Structure 1
Amino acid sequence: MKTLTLSISDRIIRFVEINEKREISFIDSIDTTFSFTECFRTGKDDEAIVSEAANVIHEAIKDKNLSSNKIGILLDSIFTFINIIPIEYSDDSPGVASSLLWDLSNYYPNNYKNFKLNYYKLGNKKFAEKVTDTLYIAIENDKLEIINKIMHTCRLKTGLFDIDHFAVEKYIRELYKPHLSSRRCLYIGCKRNRFDISIIDSNSLIHYEFIMFKETNYIKKLSDFLDKIKSGNESKTFDFVILYGDDYTVDIFNWLSSALQDTKIYLPDPFTELSLHEMISNNLKFREEGNKFIPACGLALKGL
């Protein structure tokens, strides 16, 4: 059993394959000459950009003798709409789907029916017994159609799909399970203009939010978030922190280590926390970039 994950962000595709021994058996990262923002905007009618995306994937994996049983697609959270609303879960309440569509229609009044929705009940206890904070993720059907066209052109059949930030939860639950037995984890995805932030415990997702920022004020934005938590919201307390991502991740690790001196801060490295297949263990060109591959490893682990 092997799972190959393709992690798609705006101008980068990352590849991770993990085998049944939980070894990383293939890894790569490709910078694209096009942006997936543009691909998703025009790809429904522009066959050229779809072919270009498919060719990047094909060139990366051809001649690699990959024999993955499952193939997963991981989409950057920037390509989704994410919101949290309270929903009443009772026999006489409106259906969950109706509640989600109504909320989505407030943001996309003209095309709210052109989205695929998935939702999660959050584990906080803020409301009455039958009312639960519900996180939902909405992705335009056109984007999913374009991804399917790209994969079909590559002759790859997708069996898994997730959003990068939420795939990280699987990695944490697999590799940091002892830490979660009686404690809460705050994990933060660091991107160029965005933080994705979640709090989880041993059983569930407790909290999620994202923070947009300009490159010059990302520390202030994160500091404001921590100050808000310290103000006494019990549902947002945490015991340790995990960071992953691209831009600023190491800088944020250093800043948090100083700002939260009594809290353990982790910067996971899948290249040491997971085993490496002998074919790549001595030829790993991404040795110093492990935290960038955490989401892809999370989805690959989910597929085993």
Structure 2
Amino acid sequence: MSLDTTIQAKPPVPPRASNFRVLVGRFAGNPLGGVVAALAIIFVVACFLSPYFLTRFNMTIIARSLAFTGLVTIGQSLLMIMGELDLSVGAIGGLAGIASGIMMVQYGLNPWLSLVLCLMLGAGCGLLNGTLVTRLRLHSLVLTIGMAGVYGGAILVVTKGVAITGIPHEIAFLGSGKLAGVPVPFVVLLVCLAIVVFVMQRTPLGRYVYAIGSNPEAARMLGLRVAAIRTAAFATAGFLSALAGILMVARLGSAQPSIGDTWVLSPIAAAVIGGVATTGGIGSPLGAVLGAVIIGIIENIIVLFGISPYWQSIVSGGIVVLAISFDALTRRYLNRGA
């Protein structure tokens, strides 16, 4: 009778991740927590930097200016979650604003009918972008650079670079009015954000968007209509950009050809700061809007300190570079330890 002396080997224990890696992983896995913490820090610092920051007048200014870029940011974040980009959103907003001025001033159309038609125009431009991307299988970044030139050129052809004045006072409330002390454009932003967040988190369509952004081929094999959903996302981005353009026209009381010129870099930077991955499949429109709040506060501090507004472009571009670089380095660090 033999004695069994076999020793059972213990299964290998995977190496424990370092505390720093765990911290980075939690930060990257919970982008809303990170962006909220960053927003709180920047807000507190801004309060100490300027005694005029935390005033009702200044908060109203920030909320009103945030509404325009925030609307564009929501649409851009939807596209980025799907792994796409639209660099023509600013031009679409400007084109919708100019079209509304032409309809109301030169053709005498009912202001509200003009606004509805211009919203359809913005959605149509986005629909065109999405159709070209999906049907011709073009890269969205390259295509929308060209379409930005088309839409921007159309603005200059129609206006000759001259603003359209005489906007009816009926719509001034949309840009300058308040509801319960809150600027109307900011209320519009909150309503649009609530609708988009609900769709993304509570409906199958939202899950489809994330699935396409994570792996479009797998989503296609599962039977999802990838091309149709992508096209709808581009149309939504165009609609929101047109809404921002129309609100800006109501705010200024004139249709300026320069509307939308600054709505290209800031929405991308805001989305990345808010946790939207540049590779798609990760992030949320809510985080993107919180990122836009951070950028808005920084730009507001620049104004309060009397720094030239031309620095805002440098700040926006720098934030884009830093945000994208941080996003890439963070994910590379986590993948190395996986």
The alignment's TM-score, normalised by the length of structure 2, stands at: 0.25
Higher RCO (CA-CA < 8 Å; seq separation 6+):
2
Structure showing greater radius of gyration is 2
Which has the larger strand fraction? Answer: 1
Which has the larger helix fraction? Answer: 2
